[in-house]
Structure 1
Amino acid sequence: MALAQCWAKDDDGKEYICMAISRSLSKTERQYASFNSKLFYEVVRLLSTLQQLQQQRPPGYILENVSPLSHRPGTKIRDEVFPYIASVIGRPVSFEAAQAGAYAHRLRAYWSNLFQNHQFRSVMSKVVRPEGRIVSSILCKGWHPRPVIRTDRSPHYVVNVVGEPLRALPTIMATQGSRAFRRARMGTVVRNQDDEDAEEESREVNLDEKARAMGYSASELRMADGLNDVELASILGLAMDRRAMELLMAVAEASRKGLPRS
């Protein structure tokens, strides 16, 4: 029987221990196991081990996953899987990378012991996306985004408004050539053409554009030995947005210095 323990803080700052026992899995645990959960249990095991070895100076961590708010109420992921995850590692905070200035929507859940959830929510209530950031500025020369045909709605941060420039891509896919963008839709880009009668040329954003959207440099990514653009796009699609990470770390540093409780 493998026993994993993790220490987390509730909104009052009190620490509690949560456990996941891998023998005699419950129905929900078995369902979660089908969602490629091996890494999840390995992370819990690693954190548990480090926390027990370094009790005087426990390691700081930030864990990220797609926010449960991204899933409709009534789905197994939102109603069963995420409550189970929360029972193991505590409740997360959710926020949109677009609010921090990203050029793509990425609604994510974050778990961390570097700050308390209410502190983060207090900061986010005051964060306003920087002005002037539009998707056309990160596209390769000769391409432009499609018009906004639907105004953003909660739980996403509202940046795209019908009649205004596209400010955030709908998402960043880990799979280059994803079926989600094989047909013309908002989020694909169109080549500039002088001939109005010419057939429209459309594509999904490429690696360079994805990297810029998330605050990274594709040229630096390409310095990794032995990885092609398809593999790098997969890594990038699973990565944390740089601007979101900077915001998280800023809150963590403020918390370390004594962020007010309100």
Structure 2
Amino acid sequence: MNDHQPPEQRAFPDALLPRQKEYLMSEITRDRRTSSRRSRSLVLRVGAVGALAVIVLAVLSLSGVFGSNGPLTIDKALAAVTIADGEVLHIKITGVETDGSTFVQENWSYSEEPWKYRGMTESGGGRLQEVAMDGSGLHQVYDARTNSILEMQDETVAGLAEPKVAGESYEKMIRDLLTSGLAQEDGQEQVGGRDAVRIVERRPAQEGEGTENVYLVDAETGRPLEWRIMNEGENRTLHFDIYEKLPGTPENLGLLDLKVAYPGATVYTDPAAFEQALSKAPAE
């Protein structure tokens, strides 16, 4: 029986790959059934003109307990990314890639049953993608150019043949980093004029590649400020523009529903009809 847990992989409809048009899709799904898994990955999916370019933000092989240095700071940082039942987590990140290109990602998540998630990503050139899903099995995709929403249930998504992409939530990845057994406090610095504690996780080279994560948190609150991901030959920096925990009020929960966010949008339940609407949209 389908219990509507956030699966490790999701499929994407053909409607999001219209010919000669750029429509982007991205999804970070929550892995709540394999919390003991040792390999953690975060993948942002960005598609354009019949193809999806995969941005791998981090590959972390993690296990164990706290590092030997700075346990109090690490405890504080861990508490900052631990979400209580009934809270909505709101994150906005500006990411900078190795080549200097940027993207902005904003998401809202609610872990109490029925769980909810909404995320949007704007990549270089102003291209926007937005998705939402919840524990009932509902998937939503919003297209700004046509002001339309595609809604599908798990059964429909499972029948689509698009490639699948794994991913996890930022807060989950950060918790894994902090509990890797390799995370250690490594001094302080300023981030945007704020005092920050630097937490470093270094992994030895495996198959020719080494990984270093520099995670900076607010010295007072432990909240994330910046995450520098340095793999061999690749550097990515994530700036946490917003990181806040909101009460799970009806108003805040409405932020996770695309129909509430865009009340005037046309809603489609048939991927083919959604694709037809996209095909009629004027060129950018």
Provide TM-score, normalisation by structure 2.
Answer: 0.21
Which protein has the bigger strand share? 2
Q: Which structure has the larger Rg over C-alpha atoms?
A: 1
Provide TM-score, normalisation by structure 1.
Answer: 0.22
Q: Which has the higher contact order (CA 8 A, sep 6+)?
A: 2
